[in-house]
């Protein structure tokens, strides 16, 4: 491989890594970075300038051709309050966290769930996990495909952004008792989930995290 090929390969790899750093925040600590966080280092002015420059050159990444004028205006307001926000990055991060939260809930992984959920939502999830454990039940669920993701509502009030997302997901779901016997569901049958999840973010904060504050099956 020639030196020019190596340079080009490195540039492409670097771009892909930057694109995979999603919109929905990061918790600090010694643990590995969660998947929905840290697309922009808000403590670095140089990094912020680069991102702003890229956004100025790529307006469709900030506000895609959204037909709903109310959503379009909300996206503009959120981006004005948080220059790191783009719809594409948000949706990418929402998809990543949606899958991670479902899988962590199904497996009973409280530690992974907690940083992404508001206190009220975490209590609901944790209560369901505790009830399942007390009954000796385990979930053997698997996501087959996230068929559709769409933003259905967005707003900015007093620097607090809220975005609601509809997820249409194909899964297989089986509940087993303490002896491993299937008591609900079948691994050969797919089920469609239609979920509405609402995320919130304080655009005045240096913490880029978005928290899940509400879930509803539709």
pLDDT score, position 118: 97
d(CA 9, CA 83): 29
pLDDT score, position 11: 46
pLDDT score, position 12: 41
pLDDT score, position 67: 74
Looking at the domain that runs over 3-217, which CATH code has it been given? 3.10.450.240
Q: Is 15 helix (H, G, I), strand (E, B) or coil?
A: helix
pLDDT score, position 218: 83
pLDDT score, position 5: 47
Q: Is 11 helix (H, G, I), strand (E, B) or coil?
A: helix
d(CA 186, CA 90): 34
Per-residue pLDDT of the chain (218 residues; tens, 9 = 90+): 554 444 444 444 444 334 434 445 544 444 444 444 333 333 333 333 333 333 343 555 566 666 788 999 999 999 999 999 999 999 999 999 999 999 999 999 999 999 999 999 999 999 999 999 999 999 999 999 999 999 999 999 999 999 999 999 999 999 999 999 999 998 889 999 999 999 999 999 988 889 999 999 98
CB-based contact 147:168 (threshold 8 Å): yes
pLDDT score, position 187: 86
pLDDT score, position 90: 94
Written as six digits, the tokens of 125 are 């999830």
pLDDT score, position 68: 85
CB-based contact 167:197 (threshold 8 Å): yes
CB-based contact 1:65 (threshold 8 Å): no
Q: Where are the domains of the chain?
A: 3-217
Is residue 13 classed exposed, middle or buried when 0-12, 13-18 and 19+ CB atoms within 10 A define those classes? exposed
pTM for the model stands at 0.73
d(CA 34, CA 36): 6
For tokens 């698997």, name the residue.
Answer: 142
Is residue 189 classed exposed, middle or buried when 0-12, 13-18 and 19+ CB atoms within 10 A define those classes? exposed
């Amino acid at each position: 491989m020639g030196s020019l090929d190596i340079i080009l390969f490195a540039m492409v790899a670097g771009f892909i890594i930057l694109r995979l750093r999603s919109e929905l925040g990061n918790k600090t600590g010694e643990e590995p970075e969660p998947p929905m966080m840290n697309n922009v280092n808000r403590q670095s002015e140089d990094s912020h300038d680069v991102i702003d420059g890229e956004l100025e050159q790529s307006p469709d990444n900030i506000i895609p051709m959204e037909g709903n004028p109310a959503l379009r205006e909300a996206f503009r307001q959120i981006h004005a309050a948080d220059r790191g926000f783009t719809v594409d990055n948000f949706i990418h991060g929402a998809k990543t966290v949606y899958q991670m939260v479902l899988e962590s809930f199904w497996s009973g992984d409280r530690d992974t769930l907690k940083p992404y959920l508001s206190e009220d939502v975490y209590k609901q999830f944790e209560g369901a996990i505790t009830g399942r454990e007390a009954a000796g039940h385990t979930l053997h669920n698997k996501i087959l495909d996230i068929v559709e993701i769409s933003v259905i509502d967005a707003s900015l009030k007093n620097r607090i952004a809220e975005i609601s997302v509809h997820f249409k997901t194909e899964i297989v779901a089986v509940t087993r008792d303490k002896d491993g016997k299937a008591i609900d569901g079948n691994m050969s049958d797919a089920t469609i989930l239609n979920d509405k999840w609402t995320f919130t973010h304080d655009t005045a904060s240096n913490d880029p995290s978005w928290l899940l504050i509400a879930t509803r099956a539709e």
